[in-house]
Amino acid sequence: MELFPDHPDADRKRPLAARMRPASLEEIAGQKHILAPGKLLRRAIEADRLDSIILYGPPGCGKTTLAEVIAHTTRRDFTRASGILGNVAELRKVLEPARNRRRTEGRETVLFIDEIHRFNKSQQDILLPYVEEGDVTLIGATTHNPFFFVNAPLVSRSRVFQLEPVPEDELILLMKRAVDHPQGLSHLELDLKEEALTHLAGVCEGDARKALNALEIAVLTTEPDSNGVIHVGVKEAEESIQK
C-alpha cells in the first residue's frame, strides 16, 4: 500500500498537452519529411539502428515527444536532463549507470537533453566519450541552430534533424482527437465549433502544445448551459489565447 497514493483526479489535472502526448510514431503530428514511411529517421527507429541525434525546431513541434517515442519504440531506458539545470556532476550520475547497464546487461539508454544549447563547453565535452562509445544514445533538443550553438565535436558525432511547425490541418486533428480521447476531454459534454478550432490552429503558429492548452482553457473556463453542455465558439477561442 502506498503511503501517499495518487488522487483519482491527479492525472486529469495535468495539462491537456501532457495527457495527449503521443505514444507511437503514427500519433505524432507533422514531421512527415523525416518520419513518413521510408524516411531515414523512421527507418532507423524501426530497425533499432539509431545513433545519437540532435532535434532542432521551434517550441511545440514535438522534440520531447519524439525522443520519448523513440525510447519506447526501441525499448531503451529513457533518462532526461535539462540544459538549464544540469551540471557535470549530475551528468556523471546519469552517464556512468548507463554505461554499466550497457556493458553488464546489454540494456541501452536514451539520454534526452532539453535545451542542449544551454550546456557550457565542459558539460558538452563530458558527453563526448559516452556518445563516442555508444554507452548512451544522445537525443539533444534545441530551438537554436546546433551548428552555431552546440560544440562542433558533439554535432559531428550526431545526426541533426530539423523539425518544422505543425501544419494547421494537423493541429485541428490533434484538438479533435483530444476532445474524443479518454485522457482528454471526452468526460465533458462539448459543442465545439469548427471555426473555433480553425482560429486556434491559425494563431498558435504550429505549436501543438499551445493549441491543446488553449483549447483546454477555452473549455474549462466556459460555463455549461442548463443541460450541462459547454459551447465553445470563436469568441471563447479568442479569449483563451490572448496575446
Q: What are the E-state strand segments in 57-177?
A: 77-82, 109-114, 137-142, 159-162
Closest CA to 36 of 45, 207, 20: 45
Alpha carbon distance 47, 205 (integer Å): 33
Question: Does residue 243 surpass a pLDDT of 60?
Answer: no
Alpha carbon distance 239, 242 (integer Å): 6
Question: Does residue 8 surpass a pLDDT of 50?
Answer: no
Question: Does residue 7 surpass a pLDDT of 60?
Answer: no
Question: Does residue 1 surpass a pLDDT of 50?
Answer: no
Percent of the chain with pLDDT over 70: 92
pLDDT tens, residue by residue, 68-103: 999 889 888 888 877 665 577 788 888 998 999 999
Q: What is the pLDDT of residue 151?
A: 85
